[in-house]
Amino acid sequence: MQKNNPSVAYFSMEFGLNSDFKIYAGGLGILAGDFLKAAKDNNLPVIGVGIKWKQGYVEQHIDSKQRIVDSFYNNEYDFLKDTGVKVNIKIRDRDVICKVWKVDCFDNSDLYLLDTDLPENADRWITGQLYGWFEEERIAQEMILGIGGVRALRALNKNIDIYHFNEGHAVFAGFELIREKKERGYNPYDAWNESRKQIVFTTHTPVFEGNEFHGLNVLEYMGAFNNLDRYLVREIGGEPFNMTAAGLKLSRKSNAVSSMHGRIANDMWKFVDRRSEIISITNGVHIPTWGDDELIGEYRNDKEIWSYHMNNKIKLINSIRLDTGVKLNKDKLLMGFARRAAPYKRADLVFTYENRIEPFLESGDVQIVISTKAHPLDFDGKEIIKHILSMQNKYPQSVVFLENYNMRKAMLLTRGVDVWLNNPRVTKEACGTSGMKAAINGVLNLSTLDGWWPEACWDEVTGWQIGGGFVSENKDIQDKHDADSLYEVLINKVINTYYNDPEKWREMMSASIRGILDRFSADRMIKEYYEKLYK
Ligand SMILES: *Cc1c(COP(=O)(O)O)cnc(C)c1O
């Protein structure tokens, strides 16, 4: 890329760089991690700003009585370097000191992390748990990320052209940029306008209720106003204060994370006056992290990739055997589903009409492996896990549940299964990236037309669509329609092709890699951010 690329500070609550570095929860963090890696690969001046979570996200296990057990462990990392920098933030009228660490590992990131776990702090636990606890703690965490993050960049003497807020968690960084300018003599509106020129924003949440709101009184009590006047804060985020609307009004330009999400976001936020334009930049995945380089290399040489796929399938089957004792059959169709147990993702949709899938589970012609994790307070998500466990009990040779979904499991699964099942209610998934990881490894997507899939799906060529894009306000109608379509496509197309037309299957594997490898890579993504959002 050409010289003089703007330097970017990328603020994110989570970063998924490596499975054991537990400062991520799910897709948002994986995206941020892949983003930093792609920046490094392309020599682009991007600095990550995040939080060193003491316990990270929940670890979730199923005990011998099949109860879901949530645990948190303190983590220590020997690859973090002390920068010697500390910054101070006033929270609830108390000084909170943040230590700034630099991540010095894997040679793949330029990432700084803030940490409140210091003996001199009364509030050591602010950076204790990612998405843990209640509203005041969440606001305190966001003040650390935003206000603390900007102060850390100043103390580190970093020259930053663009402040990129990955999701609304970082908007208090905008308050800090405004406060700095006010202190230099700007009036509040000019300080806001000037700060907007430096800020870009990415929204990820197409479900309105999923966006974060806070009362102005609690923000004021916490100190989040950061010396801004109440009327200005209200003007930026409304009352109650809407973190996404604030991101849109603090930034010069925003983006959604797929074409479809762009249309939905523009519609959802049209009531916000003087917001920035929302463009679409579809997510991508970091190929060296998620792709099997041997298989991709053979694919590039026009070689047969089936045996490489079988190696990955056997690796997965062996790992499942070690974890669970279940011995899957490598010659039978293996379908995978792995993501957070958020209800809209419908992890148990395939079990909606049990009698229709039962014959295939009993014969073993369809094997399903599911890995997921529910937020500790997501009781609907936990019900879904219980339903899957009951199916596993009933069809123990064909249905496998893998507990405690993480990057390592994602890597094994997106290489080792034959088919990647993805069935969110259409319009609810902003993008989704696990299907991209599968596709580049020759694992065929079977998915509703949501998120990124309408951009990549060529039905019966790169994978299969289910549901025809049908949307209903009535969840029961939607779920019934999509379950019917899922059985229809699974039985008549997927199972039929797998067992009766292996040649077509292999052609589809190649078409999947050809159509998706470059277009949905993090390389393409970061270049697009530079061209469309940063310039
Ligand atoms: C890729 C990945 C995700 C995101 O996948 P989606 O398809 O967006 O749900 C979440 N968690 C882990 C561990 C991942 O590797």
Q: What is the DSSP string of 146-188?
A: IIIHHHHHHHTT---SEEEEESGGGTHHHHHHHHHHHHTT--H
CA of 437 from ligand 1 middle (Å) equals 9
Q: Which of 451, 480, 499 is nearest to 204 (CA)?
A: 451
The CATH T-level fold of domain 8-284+524-534 is Rossmann fold (3.40.50)
Identify the DSSP state of 125. Answer: G
Q: Is 347 in the pocket of ligand 1 (CB under 6 A)?
A: no
pLDDT in tens, the chain (535 residues): 446 899 999 999 999 999 999 999 999 999 999 999 999 999 999 999 999 999 999 999 999 999 999 999 999 999 999 999 999 999 999 999 999 999 986 555 689 999 999 999 999 999 999 998 889 999 999 999 999 999 999 999 999 999 999 999 999 999 999 999 999 999 999 999 999 999 999 999 999 988 999 999 999 999 999 999 999 999 999 999 999 999 999 999 999 999 999 999 999 999 999 999 999 999 999 999 999 999 999 999 988 899 999 999 999 999 999 999 999 999 999 999 998 888 999 999 999 999 999 999 999 999 999 999 999 999 999 999 999 999 999 999 999 999 999 999 999 999 999 999 999 999 999 999 999 999 999 999 999 999 999 999 999 999 999 999 999 999 999 999 999 999 999 999 999 999 999 999 999 999 999 999 999 999 999 999 999 999 8
**Ligand 1 near 140 CB (within 6 A):** no
Q: For 256, list phi and psi in degrees, rounded to 5.
A: -100, 170
Contact 247 CB / ligand 1 (< 6 Å): no
Binding site membership of 432 for ligand 1 (Cβ less than 6 Å): yes
> Which atom of ligand 1 lies nearest, measured to the CA of 422?
7
Answer whether 8-284+524-534 and 287-519 agree in fold.
yes
Tell how far the Cα of 314 is from the centroid of ligand 1, in angstroms: 22
Atom of ligand 1 nearest to the CA of 340: 9
Instruction: Compute the distance from residue 30 Cα to the ligand 1 centre, in Å.
Output: 7
Task: Specify the pLDDT at position 107.
Answer: 59
Residue 17 CA: distances (Å) to CA of 109, 163, 520: 8, 21, 18
Q: How far is it, in rounded angstroms, from Cα 412 to Cα 417?
A: 8
Rg (CA), the chain: 23
Q: Which of 429, 434, 436, 520 to mutate to test the pocket of ligand 1 (most atoms within 8 A of CB)?
A: 434
Ligand 1 atom at shortest distance from the alpha carbon of 435: 7
33 lines ligand 1 (CB under 6 A): no
The answer to whether the CB of 128 is under 6 A from ligand 1 is no
* Best probe residue, ligand 1, of 433, 437, 440, 445 (max atoms within 8 Å of C-beta): 433
Signed CA dihedral, 406, 408, 411, 417: sign only: negative
CB distance 17 to 26 below 8 Å: no
**Cα–Cα nearest to 437, from 495, 350, 513, 498:** 513
Mutate to test the pocket of ligand 1, among 339, 373, 441, 447 (most ligand atoms within 8 A of CB): 339
**Rounded Cα gap, residues 405 and 66, in angstroms:** 17
Instruction: Collapse the DSSP code of 367 into the 3-class scheme (helix H, G, I; strand E, B; otherwise coil) and give the result.
Output: strand
The response to whether residue 433 sits with its C-beta less than 6 Å from ligand 1 reads yes
For ligand 1, atom 3, which residue shows the shortest CA distance? 27
Whether ligand 1 lies within 6 angstroms of the CB of 296 is answered as: no
Å from CA of 434 to ligand 1 middle: 5
Alpha carbon of 122 to ligand 1 centroid (Å): 35
Give residue 1's pLDDT.
Answer: 46
For residue range 473-517, list pLDDT tens digits in order.
999 999 999 999 999 999 999 999 999 999 999 999 999 999 999
pLDDT at 108 (0 to 100): 53
Q: How far, in Å, from the CA of 360 to the mean position of ligand 1? A: 28
Closest atom, ligand 1, to C-alpha of 406: 13
Q: Output the six-digit token pair for 152.
A: 């850390």
**Nearest Cα residue to atom 9 of ligand 1:** 339
Q: What is the residue extent of each domain of the chain?
A: 8-284+524-534, 287-519
- Spatial distance between the Cα atoms of 465 and 486, rounded to a whole number of angstroms: 9
132 Cα: distance to centroid of ligand 1 (angstroms): 20
Q: CATH number of the domain at 287-519, please?
A: 3.40.50.2000
How high is the pLDDT of residue 3? Answer: 60
Q: What is the pLDDT of residue 109?
A: 65
Name the 3-class secondary structure at 436: helix
Question: In terms of C-beta density within 10 A (0-12 exposed, 13-18 middle, 19 or more buried), how is residue 139 classed?
Answer: buried
Closest CA to 144 of 117, 162, 120: 117
Say yes or no: CB of residue 423 within 6 Å of ligand 1.
no
State which ligand 1 atom lies nearest to the alpha carbon of 405: 13
Ligand 1 neighbourhood includes 27 CB (under 6 angstroms): yes
CA distances from 234 to 168, 219, 223, 230, 238 (A): 16, 11, 15, 6, 5
**Strands, E assignment, 31-176:** 46-51, 59-62, 68-71, 80-91, 94-103, 111-115, 162-166
Atom 6 of ligand 1, nearest CA residue:
432
Ligand 1 neighbour 447 (Cβ under 6 A): no
29 C-alpha vs ligand 1 centroid, how far in Å?
A: 9
